[in-house]
Amino acid sequence: MTIISLLLLVSLLPHMTFTDHVNVGIVNGTEAKPHSRPYMVSVQLNKKHICGGFLISDEFVLTAGHCREGTQILTVVIGAHDLRNSKNSDRIGVNSYIKHPSYITDPPQNGIMLLRLQEKVNVNNYVNWIPLPKDGGDVEADTICSVAGWGQLETNGQNSNRLMEASVYILNNTQCEKKWGTIYSISMMMCTRGHGGSCRYDSGGPLVCGDIAVGITEFGSNLQCNSPQLPNVYTKISAYIQWINSIIKNVK
């Protein structure tokens, strides 16, 4: 039985059943230059890192839908590089959790969640938001992009205290569908290949092309982080940009 993770456990047998939620870190990456990604957010439960996320305005964080289960109370840490050092970082509570109204886990669809923070962030050298793509359109195959996170450094390994990053290449959508089968949605997802990539506890972090966040880390192989056979999959932000904008614009 082949198993995959968010960065979910799932069976690839004909009757797919999602058995557990597992978040996906950066393998074969390098340490990011401190505060070179001021949009990066550590999403935490009981002050423990469980997911990535990223600032898209002064009061909203974008992350994966499966990063919160039930009535969990999450906090976010902004302005961090080393999660053990709070010198330039700040912990903020979440005012509201807004999952896409059509979010489901079996099979994974519409895996996107907005976190409205309890207070607006102050933009500085350590904290800033990242632009999102315009409505529609795909990133061309073989485009060099990047991922980052505080997740595991190797399959079943330890999380990284310091922010790690890796370069990845966009895979052709048809290739992604061939590798993943019916679980993959060409219109709502994208996937990548590369020597380095996401692992557990990197879920919710951004796929960045140029200076734009184009994807949200969603799921991959649970047997091998950054598997070439089952490439990491991301929620395609451009497919949801109207929904995101409608939420942000209606804030009072």
Q: Evaluate whether 173 touches 190 at the Cβ level (below 8 Å).
A: yes
Sketch out the chain's domains with CATH numbers: 40-129+241-250 (2.40.10.10), 130-238 (2.40.10.10)
Give dist(CA 78, CA 176) in Å, integer.
33
Q: pLDDT by residue for the chain (252 residues), tens digit each?
A: 334 445 433 322 222 323 233 344 578 889 999 999 999 999 999 999 999 999 999 999 999 999 999 999 999 999 999 999 888 899 999 999 999 999 998 888 999 999 999 999 999 999 999 999 987 678 999 999 999 999 998 888 889 999 999 999 999 999 999 999 999 999 999 999 999 899 889 999 999 999 999 999 999 987 888 888 999 999 999 999 999 999 998 876
Instruction: Give me the residues paired with residue 54 across strands.
Output: 40, 62
Cβ contacts of residue 165 below 8 Å, gap of 6+?
Answer: 26, 29, 30, 31, 32, 37, 146, 147, 148
**What count of other Cβ atoms lies within 10 Å of the Cβ of residue 177?**
17
